Structure 1
Amino acid sequence: MLDLSLPSGLRDLLPDHSAHLAELSARLQEVFSRLGYRRVFLPTLERLDVVERGLSAAALADVMKFVEPGSGEVVAIRPDITPQIARLYAARPDALPSPARLCYDGPVLRAREARAGRPREVYQAGVELLGAGGPDADAEMLVLLARALERVGLRGAVVEVGHARFAQAVMDAAKLPEKARGPAWDALSRKDEAALGALAVKARGPEKARAALPALAALYGDGALDRGRSLAKAVPEAAGALEEVESALRIARRRGVRDVAVDLGETRGLGYYTGLTFAGYAPGAGSWVAQGGRYDALLARFGRPGPAIGFAVDLEFATQALERANGRGNARAHARPARAAARRGRTARRR
């Protein structure tokens, strides 16, 4: 008998759900366009060396690659669109002067599931701001994400902000042995203060820096910035990252962004992001609905150095949240926000 099932991690989208997803994508593109972002369409296949140049070491395991029959080149199905944007930006400076504001949508495919419930093929809509750095560019991205989530109907959505270098600065100052770094990042992703405290005993840095290590697990929620300031006094190396977060938030709040949470112990995009990181959470979604950050090291890999920041909306999870909010999804319409659920067991993701 013919097996009509799909490969693991893939799924069909039926007409009603497909229509909702397409409508959401169109509305997001409209928001992006109104705020000055120009749409680009990119191929599904890229040369493997281009894809590899644009991904972190951890993300390379997700690449689907094969030898192209006609040319014999090794090519890859894109697991992320941002490296393609970086390649285009480097290849066409004539058409894309700096700063370039670009938006896109389309599927990406990964070799394995990032975690249970998140499929291998993901439909994204996103934006990239290339060639602009500093707090104004960071705040622009926070404003754009907040407005996009609000204008597509995701009421109650929350943007959560962190920084890629804050926890790194604490670990460096504590002089945690290299073999303990992996377990420390795993513990931090679980907000496991006890495990971080046990690892801090192995550190060789100053006492204040060692004591700060377990404190990273509590740098979220109400008062997170105040606790971060206290920690930065003990570990001055973390002060610069904290100032970048506070500067971006001050500007974003002046521009009307209110629902912002802070998590200075976030491990999202470890090894890829270089500055501000952020994610969007909405009631009814099974996971984050948007994710991104600053990745200033990427463009130089393609030969056109410069700062860059962006985010992608997961259209499937955003549609799920909208369907449940409108009573069109399954009976779990009152599922708690994904941010609260994710707090119990996160894995670092994207790029």
Structure 2
Amino acid sequence: MIDDRQRALLPNGLQDLLPPDAAFEAQTIERLMAHFAAEGYARVKPPLVEFEDSLLTGPGRLLAAQIFRVMDPVSQRMMGVRADMTPQLARIAATRLAHAARPLRLSYAGQVLRVRGGMLRPERQFAQVGIELIGAPEPTADAEVVRLAAEALTGIGVKGLTIDLNLPTMVDVVAEAFGLPTDQLGPLREALDRKDPTAVAELAGAAAPLYAGLLDAAGIAAEALARLDALELPAEARRLVAMVADVVRVIDLADLDAQVTIDPIEHRGLDYQTGVSFSLFAAGVRGELGSGGRYVAGADQNGGGEPATGFSLYMDSVLRAIDAPVRPRHLYLPFGCGPVAGRTFRADGWITVQGLAPETDPVAEARAQGCSHILRGADAIPLDAIDIRGA
């Protein structure tokens, strides 16, 4: 027989969210969603499970190893539990909302499940919240998405926010301009990710000085842009720098309470991204608060699709970056109080707890129920002001 201790055990990376944390997460998600709605992003709700081939299109291809799979007993087709909601939004835009006006602004919130966690985020199930801006190729779309992510986070109380802007296609663009063999790109990216100038010099040949300059350019946005402007970049690389500069200008105009950095060759393994990407961090908080960037929505193995950009916030990290709310006042209504006794208090923001059976000691029961006050007549009396000896 399984005892209570065994039943309380959960698989690695999964956890119960208990009071008051579960309510805090739900309230924070709704605050974020209200922020997105105020800027024209309409909420959609895709299913938790869908056919595997739908989940593995476009950006979903890179998450194939993270998807739990199950056979649908009705259709006899393989289904997958979503590991990320972005592919689902791309599917909705390309099918059910194919004829909706562009640009299409969508928002979402829901749980995702992954086969394994990472070093910085060991959680395998967590709430994901985000937006997608689909059908807008302009740099102003990238700027809107970055600004909205930062404003939403600072709006819920995140402090010490850093926006790290990246150009994940920069490595390929420079490699193509210098004619580097494609089989060298993988090792070259790994060397650049390690910030290993010796390995970069061995792999990049004539492009090594330029890659070294790109490595050195990383830093605070204004300084990074100045260093990038001083490099002799190929035309396409110069266009990428102009794109990230546009994003920085919009962020500056928005007067955000955030530090902006640029790392022009960081790509964090997101090979599907096609333009400006970004990650969000908070001082002293483990893991990314979120990430996003430009990609092609609805693309398949034959290409196609439409330009898109967006971001996802990871609520497990976000909640670590904000202060817990002040606990609302809890009022105990002793047994025998009528059903309307607490109505006025609830309207004023109190939480009321109704006694369900006659109490030998109402004050002790109020304390046991986690209340700070007890109803005496028409008044809420603080428990700390009551003499338990009978006053």
TM-score by length of 1: 0.83
Question: Structure 2: how far apart are the matches of 1:322 and 1:244?
Answer: 31
Unaligned segments of structure 1, at least 5 residues: 329-351
**AA partner of residue 130 (structure 1):** I
Residue equivalent to 2:279: 279
CA contact (8 A) 1:86 1:298 kept: yes
Q: 1:234 offset after TM fit, Å?
A: 4.3
Aligned Cα RMSD in Å? 2.5
Count of residue pairs the alignment pairs up: 319
Q: 1:323 offset after TM fit, Å?
A: 4.0
CA contact (8 A) 2:41 2:131 kept: yes
Match of 2:203 among 199, 204, 211: 199
CA contact (8 A) 2:129 2:313 kept: yes
Question: Structure 1: how far apart are the matches of 2:304 and 2:239?
Answer: 26
Q: 1:158 offset after TM fit, Å?
A: 1.6
Question: Structure 2: how far apart are the matches of 1:138 and 1:16?
Answer: 36
The answer to which structure has the higher strand fraction is 2
Between 1:297-306 and 1:246-255, the stretch displaced more is 297-306
Between 1:54-63 and 1:158-167, the stretch displaced more is 54-63
Q: 1:111 offset after TM fit, Å?
A: 1.5
Higher RCO (CA < 8 A, seq sep 6+)? 1
Question: Structure 2: how far apart are the matches of 1:226 and 1:111?
Answer: 42
CA contact (8 A) 1:268 1:277 kept: no
CA-to-aligned-CA distance 1:223-281 (integer Å, 9 cap, x gap): 211222233x1444411111111122223322334632111121134321001101111
Give the alignment of 1:164-183 within 5 angstroms. 164-183=168-187
**AA partner of residue 199 (structure 1):** L
Residue equivalent to 2:248: 249
CA distance 1:172–1:26, change in 2 (3 Å): same
Give the alignment of 1:195-344 within 5 angstroms. 195-200=199-204, 203=205, 207=206, 209-222=207-220, 223-231=223-231, 233-257=232-256, 259-295=259-295, 297-301=296-300, 305-323=305-323
Residue equivalent to 2:110: 106
SS in 2 for 1:301: coil
Q: 1:57 offset after TM fit, Å?
A: 4.4
CA distance 1:243–1:42, change in 2 (3 Å): same
CA contact (8 A) 1:194 1:214 kept: no
Match of 2:39 among 17, 35, 39: 35
Q: Does 2:48 align with 1:50?
A: no
Residue equivalent to 2:189: 185
TM-score by length of 2: 0.75
SS in 2 for 1:55: helix
Question: Structure 2: how far apart are the matches of 1:289 and 1:227?
Answer: 28
SS in 2 for 1:160: strand
Question: Structure 1: how far apart are the matches of 2:171 and 2:196?
Answer: 14
CA distance 1:268–1:96, change in 2 (3 Å): farther
Question: Structure 2: how far apart are the matches of 1:290 and 1:143?
Answer: 13
Q: 1:292 offset after TM fit, Å?
A: 0.3
**AA partner of residue 241 (structure 2):** L
